[in-house]
Amino acid sequence: GESVGLHLPTLSVQEGDNSIINCAYSNSASDYFIWYKQESGKGPQFIIDIRSNMDKRQGQRVTVLLNKTVKHLSLQIAATQPGDSAVYFCAENNGDSNYQLIWGAGTKLIIKP
Amino acid sequence: EAQVTQNPRYLITVTGKKLTVTCSQNMNHEYMSWYRQDPGLGLRQIYYSMNVEVTDKGDVPEGYKVSRKEKRNFPLILESPSPNQTSLYFCASSLLDLAGGQDTQYFGPGTRLTVL
């Protein structure tokens, strides 16, 4: 079946280092991918997205890489800060519908001082 | 301020007692959606709506109802809540991309529901 999963449920990173959060997907028909950040007690917040016609997209301190060959998505956060502590979710659109997202289980990012 | 609001934020109820969780957005978004979030399962979509009077089932619609009588409101109704509906619920909204997809979703603050 279709699934979006994460390799690591928890990631600990030293403050100032770069973080890389990975995500695998299984639906070849998915053409839109999104990363969300969820801080404790809050709803998910959009970080960055990418469409399947791109391999890389950069935002402010964040970069998303898409490898369609191996169905892999990653989020890179540069110079990780304490405010980056959160659970990060990847999501893909349902290949049969652009109006449904399939969400991964999430990765918790912990920043060590 | 552009936002999605949900009420109540916290609710404890008993099995079988009908309840409604309201959701409202002030961004004139066509698309609205309800999710539940459970530990280890990420977000699962319950229902979504692409416009007024247009609603569709998500992945886990059983035990829930929705309505979309106005563009800004998308209430979630539990006619007869059961303990397995204890969860954290999020409402979200977005514009619809004219190319055929949805734009960035904006999420409400969440409603934590406990059904005893």
Which pLDDT belongs to residue A13? 96
Does residue A2 register a pLDDT over 50? Answer: no
Which pLDDT belongs to residue A12? 95
Does residue A54 register a pLDDT over 90? Answer: yes
Q: Which of B26, B7, B27 is nearest to B89 (CA)?
A: B7
The answer to whether the CB atoms of A101 and B108 lie below 8 A apart is no
Q: How many CB pairs under 8 A join A and B?
A: 54
> Could you tell me which chain B residue has the CA closest to the CA of A100?
B58
Q: Check: CB of residue B87 under 8 Å from CB of residue B98.
A: no
Give the closest of A34, A45, A99 to B31, CB-based. A99
Q: Which of B4, B7, B8 is nearest to B25 (CA)?
A: B4
Q: How many CA atoms lie within 13 A of A108 on its CB side?
A: 7
Instruction: Please report residues of A whose CB lies closer than 8 A to that of B107.
Output: 43-45
Which pLDDT belongs to residue B42? 82
Structure tokens at B70: 């106005």
Give A74-102 pLDDT, tens digit per residue: 999 999 999 999 999 999 887 665 567 88
The answer to whether the CB atoms of A106 and B42 lie below 8 A apart is yes
Report CA Rg, chain B.
Answer: 14
Report the distance separating Cα A31 and Cα A68, nearest Å: 10
Report the distance separating Cα B3 and Cα B106, nearest Å: 8
Amino acid at A2: E
Give the closest of A41, A93, A104 to B42, CB-based. A104
Which pLDDT belongs to residue B28? 95
Which pLDDT belongs to residue B81? 98
> Could you tell me which chain A residue has the CA closest to the CA of B33?
A100
- pLDDT digit string (tens) for chain B, length 116 residues: 889 999 999 999 999 999 999 999 999 999 999 999 988 778 999 999 999 999 999 989 999 999 999 999 999 999 999 999 999 999 999 987 655 555 688 999 999 999 99
Which pLDDT belongs to residue B98? 59
